[in-house]
Amino acid sequence: MNQQVQGDFLLRFGSKYRTIIAAILSLCWTGFGQLYNKQYIKGLSLLGLQVFNAYLILAANMWFFYIFVAAFAVLDAYIVGLKIKK
């Protein structure tokens, strides 16, 4: 019985804060918010793109593209989380 109550709490917590959790995950590492929202292809694509961006930063000190992709990923994860929540 106790496991059922705990599971119900986690489901309610996850659905209530889904958008914020997705945005925070995407902020921590680009693409994780999309993976949390079950957008596997988009999440893995963004993850791979940021790995390539890390190479560009080391090779040519190109920070702008890295920041742009990270900002897009956070915003996208939040918006998709809102759509899933409804």
For the stretch 6-55, pLDDT in tens is: 445 545 655 668 888 888 888 888 899 999 888 999 999 999 998 888 88
pLDDT for residue 13: 58
| pLDDT exceeds cutoff 70 at 75 | yes
**Residue 82: band (very low, low, confident or very high) from pLDDT cuts 50, 70, 90:** confident
C-alpha distances out from residue 2 to 8, 11, 13, 27, Å: 10, 14, 17, 34
The conformation of residue 29, written as its DSSP 8-state character, comes to: S
Name the residue with tokens 């997705």.
Answer: 22
Q: Pick the residue with more confidence: 65 or 44?
A: 44
